[in-house]
């Protein structure tokens, strides 16, 4: 019996009875209060509607049972494994913990498959059988204690129900608590990001083959694939260079588009063009990467070769690589245009109309009004938009992975392939990810730097936007 119980899939086995118990408790509680009637006098009336009593009783039943079951989920597997390991013969244990874990994993896998035939290996088959029995026992204990918890919850909750019982307040409290938990998940995410990055970064610097902090931040030699050198300066350089190229495209185009759309264009033109510009933001970055690598990169290469072939330039002036910083930067710039244009559009529209009217009344032309009144007034907001866009460019991954290349170089030649922080994170973490080599963990140190820098930019930008909004609201 225990063995069969060990085979069964546990999920529905528990969720279905829990749901059934919840429904039963709800109808039971509602019925019990409804049977009392609304009540004779004002003072003795029902405190809460029957439905709330039903909800209360359902929660009183389901919550303790689920809690107990969660405890089972967290600890049962470890308990079953450790008791199985303690029963294994010594010669197997002596082979080391890794071998034992591998063995137990295979046993667990086999035990899950009820149809699996005996392998013929006596120790293995016996272990599978023992594992199923242990698992079944743990399940029996888990399910029984969950039932016990649910039943006692139901019993205690039932005794609370009465005309004057404030069921509604309790339900409100539960709902509020649940909503708060949901809101707190955002904080938990940040905490998870910060903790995992910090933890792995500290581990990276304390690994025997890892670098020192100064070596990492100021070293100019990056060769992480072989695990030899971890000087990240070429990565920072490449990232900044590509971001700069992207900004050279995105800032003028985005800013002028925003100015034209908010100050010059007809409403109809604006209604058509604004969504088209926003389309640029909706295209997945992997599509931009494909575009950069298959269309722009060859163009950049041809251009570089043409420049090299000019009579007055040396033949090796430009690197003319098949993937290049320029290709990635150009396309990234196009991707960022809508960020700059829509954010600038917002701040330009937020400039009060009287400022415009005043400038025009003084005889300024429209462009003078824009250059001398609107742009200075909107400058903090525009700078914030640019900062947000830079942080976006620094963190962009797929375009550089597909179109920028992987050589850690420090060069001012934009037609050379150049690597970035995000490229290296992807290169280091795809494929083999054993979390004990300096090679893998170095990706987290890079991620930490990336997170820190983008966070700084974001905080500054959001501050500026907020203060600016307050000034005009």
Partner 1 sequence: MTKPGLSPEAFAERRLKRRHAAERRFKIYGQVAIGIAVGFLAILLLSIASKSASAFSRHMLVLKIDQPDLSVRSDLAVTDLNLSVRDELVKAFPEIADNRTARIDLFGLTTRLAVLPLTKSAAEKPDMFQTPVDARLAVSDDLDLYLKNEFRAHRTIEVGRAGRLSDTRSGAFRVTDAGPDGFETFQSFVDDPTQPRTDILISLQGAWFELNAISGAALELEHLAGALPPLGELGGAQIDALILPSAGDNRKVSNRQIAYTMLLKQRGMIEKRFNRTLFTNSDSTYPELAGTAAAVVGSLFTMLITALFAIPVGIFAAVYLEEFAKKSIITNIIEVNINNLAAVPSIIFGLLGAAVFLNTFGLPRSVPLVGGLVLGLLVLPTIIIASRAALQSVPPSVRDAALGLGASHSQAVFHHVLPLAAPGILTGAIIAMARALGETAPLLLIGMVAFISEVPRAPNDEATVLPVLIYKWFSGAERAWEPMTAALIIILLTILVAMNLVAVLLRRRFERRL
Query: Which residues in 246-305 contact partner 1 (CB under 8 A)?
Result: 252-257, 259-261, 264, 273, 276-277, 279-280, 282-291, 293-295
Residue 192 engages partner 1 in binding (rule: CB under 8 A): yes
Choose between 178 and 357: whose C-beta lies nearer to partner 1.
178
Do 68 and 156 touch, CB atoms closer than 8 A?
no
DSSP string, 302-313: HHHHHHHHSTTS
Residues 6 or more apart in contact with residue 70 via CB below 8 angstroms: none
The span from the CA of 122 to the CA of 187, in Å, is 51
Least separation, in Å, of the C-beta of 14 and partner 1? 17
Tokens for 329, please give them.
Answer: 């930067």
Provide the CA 213 distance to its chain's centre, in angstroms: 27
106, 158, 163, 168: which one binds partner 1 (CB under 8 A) = 168
Least separation, in Å, of the C-beta of 392 and partner 1? 8
Residue 242 engages partner 1 in binding (rule: CB under 8 A): no
Least separation, in Å, of the C-beta of 282 and partner 1? 6
Tokens for 31, please give them.
Answer: 């019925």
Footprint (CB under 8 A) of partner 1, residues 431-470: 433, 435, 443-444, 447, 450-451, 454-455, 458-459, 462
Tokens for 27, please give them.
Answer: 């109808």
Of the candidates 170, 167, 169, 171, the one whose C-alpha atom is nearest the C-alpha of residue 46 is 167
The span from the CA of 324 to the CA of 245, in Å, is 11
Choose between 257 and 321: whose C-beta lies nearer to partner 1.
257
Residue 394 engages partner 1 in binding (rule: CB under 8 A): yes
Of the candidates 346, 351, 343, the one whose C-alpha atom is nearest the C-alpha of residue 376 is 351
Least separation, in Å, of the C-beta of 180 and partner 1? 6
Provide the CA 375 distance to its chain's centre, in angstroms: 36
Kind plus residue range of the DSSP H or E element containing 339: helix 325-350
Residue 388 engages partner 1 in binding (rule: CB under 8 A): yes
Residue 42 engages partner 1 in binding (rule: CB under 8 A): no
Residues 6 or more apart in contact with residue 407 via CB below 8 angstroms: 416, 417, 418, 419
Residue 189 engages partner 1 in binding (rule: CB under 8 A): yes
Least separation, in Å, of the C-beta of 75 and partner 1? 14
Footprint (CB under 8 A) of partner 1, residues 54-83: none
Least separation, in Å, of the C-beta of 465 and partner 1? 10
Choose between 149 and 465: whose C-beta lies nearer to partner 1.
465
The span from the CA of 48 to the CA of 279, in Å, is 51
- 246, 316, 361 from 177: Cα distances, Å: 45, 67, 57
Choose between 132 and 454: whose C-beta lies nearer to partner 1.
454
Give Dmax (Cα) for the chain: 106
Least separation, in Å, of the C-beta of 123 and partner 1? 25
Classified as helix, coil or strand, 236 is helix
Least separation, in Å, of the C-beta of 462 and partner 1? 6
Footprint (CB under 8 A) of partner 1, residues 310-349: 334, 337-338, 341
Residue 182 engages partner 1 in binding (rule: CB under 8 A): yes
Footprint (CB under 8 A) of partner 1, residues 357-386: 365-368, 370-371
Of the candidates 146, 152, 174, 196, the one whose C-alpha atom is nearest the C-alpha of residue 55 is 174
With CB under 8 A, what is the number of residues at the site for partner 1? 87
For 82, other C-beta atoms within 10 Å of its C-beta total 12
Choose between 287 and 310: whose C-beta lies nearer to partner 1.
287
Q: What is the DSSP letter of 263?
A: I
Footprint (CB under 8 A) of partner 1, residues 400-419: 401-402
Least separation, in Å, of the C-beta of 174 and partner 1? 9
Residue 218 engages partner 1 in binding (rule: CB under 8 A): no
């Amino acid at each position: 019996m225990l063995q069969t119980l060990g085979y069964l899939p546990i999920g529905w086995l528990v969720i279905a009875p829990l749901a059934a118990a919840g429904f039963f408790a709800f109808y039971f509680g509602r019925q019990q209060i409804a049977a009392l009637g609304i009540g004779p006098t004002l003072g003795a009336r029902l405190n809460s509607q029957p439905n709330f009593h039903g909800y209360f009783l359902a929660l009183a039943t389901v919550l303790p049972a689920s809690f107990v079951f969660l405890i089972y989920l967290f600890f049962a597997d470890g308990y079953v494994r450790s008791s199985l390991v303690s029963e294994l013969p010594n010669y197997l244990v002596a082979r080391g913990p890794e071998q034992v874990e591998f063995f137990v994993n295979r046993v667990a896998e086999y035990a899950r498959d009820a149809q699996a035939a005996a392998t013929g290996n006596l120790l293995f088959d016996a272990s599978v059988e023992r594992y199923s029995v242990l698992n079944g026992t743990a399940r029996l204990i888990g399910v029984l204690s969950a039932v016990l918890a649910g039943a006692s919850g139901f019993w205690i909750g039932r005794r609370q129900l009465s005309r004057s019982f404030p069921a509604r307040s309790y339900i409100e409290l539960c709902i509020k608590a649940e909503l708060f938990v949901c809101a707190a998940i955002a904080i938990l995410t940040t905490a998870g990001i910060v903790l995992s990055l910090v933890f792995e970064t500290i581990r990276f610097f304390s690994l025997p083959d890892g670098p020192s902090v100064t070596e990492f931040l100021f070293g100019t030699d990056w060769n992480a694939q072989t695990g030899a050198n971890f000087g990240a300066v070429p990565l920072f350089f490449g990232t900044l260079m590509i971001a700069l190229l992207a900004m050279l495209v995105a800032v003028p185009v985005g800013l002028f588009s925003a100015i034209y759309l908010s100050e010059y264009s007809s409403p109809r033109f604006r209604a058509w063009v604004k969504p088209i510009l926003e389309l640029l933001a909706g295209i997945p970055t992997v599509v931009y990467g494909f575009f950069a690598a298959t269309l722009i990169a060859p163009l950049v290469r041809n251009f570089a070769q043409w420049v090299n072939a000019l009579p007055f330039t040396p033949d090796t002036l430009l690197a003319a690589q098949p993937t290049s910083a320029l290709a990635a930067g150009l396309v990234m710039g196009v991707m960022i245009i809508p960020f700059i244009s829509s954010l600038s559009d917002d701040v330009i529209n937020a400039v009060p109309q009287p400022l415009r009217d005043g400038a025009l009344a003084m005889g300024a032309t429209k462009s003078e009004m824009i250059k001398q009144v609107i742009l200075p007034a909107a400058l903090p907001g525009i700078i914030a938009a640019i900062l947000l866009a830079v942080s976006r460019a620094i963190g962009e991954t797929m375009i550089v992975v597909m179109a920028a290349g992987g050589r850690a170089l420090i060069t001012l030649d934009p037609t050379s392939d150049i690597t970035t922080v995000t490229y290296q994170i992807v290169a280091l973490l795809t494929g083999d990810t054993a979390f004990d080599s300096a090679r893998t963990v170095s990706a987290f140190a890079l991620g930490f730097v990336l997170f820190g820098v983008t966070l700084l930019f974001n905080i500054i930008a959001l501050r500026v936007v907020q203060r600016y909004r307050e000034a005009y609201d």
